[in-house]
């Protein structure tokens, strides 16, 4: 079974802190994604990566950066956490194919910024 593991289920951070959310997948997938999920807004794409050291901005990249130094690991970085970044963060991975294949999700990290 494909496994996507996010480093924390729950996280509480202070405003202004630098926050790292880690995601690891074990199926050699090329694509990795970070979404945030907020009530009434669905899932919104923050950043994605289709290869090591490659990244592309999603729909809401402001205030975030990412790092992909190894194929299996994709990190989301909040440079200076703010209260409006309190949210559920979801990592996903998928194979890269001619059609867009199914995505596999981690269990989510619920981040609270106080």
Interface positions with other proteins (CB under 8 A):
4, 31, 33, 35, 40-45, 48, 50, 56, 58-59, 88, 90, 92, 96, 99-108, 110
**CB 7 to other proteins: min, Å:** 14
> Is the CB of 3 or the CB of 18 nearer to other proteins?
3
Q: At its nearest, how many Å lie between other proteins and the CB of residue 31?
A: 7
> What's the closest the beta carbon of residue 62 comes to other proteins, in angstroms?
15
SS3 69: strand
Residue matched to tokens 């794409």: 45
| 4 versus 111: smaller Cβ distance to other proteins | 4
Residues 1 and 20: their CA atoms lie apart, in Å, by 26
β-pair partners for 49: 32
- In angstroms, what is the minimal distance from the CB of 90 to other proteins? 6
Backbone angles phi, psi at 100, to 5 degrees: -80, 115
Of 106 and 113, nearer to other proteins (C-beta) is: 106
Instruction: Name the 3-class secondary structure at 35.
Output: strand
Instruction: List alpha helices for the chain, DSSP H.
Output: none
């Amino acid at each position: 079974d494909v496994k996507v593991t996010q480093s924390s289920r729950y996280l509480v951070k202070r405003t202004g802190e630098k926050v790292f959310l880690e995601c690891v997948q074990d199926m050699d997938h090329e694509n990795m994604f970070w979404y945030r999920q907020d009530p009434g807004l669905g899932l919104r794409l923050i950043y994605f990566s289709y290869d090591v050291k490659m990244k592309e901005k999603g729909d809401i990249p402001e205030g975030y950066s990412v790092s992909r130094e190894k194929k299996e690991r994709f990190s989301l970085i909040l440079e200076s956490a703010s209260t409006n970044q309190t949210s559920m963060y979801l990592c996903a991975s998928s194979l890269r194919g001619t059609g867009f294949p199914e995505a596999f999700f981690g269990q989510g990290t619920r981040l609270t910024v106080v």
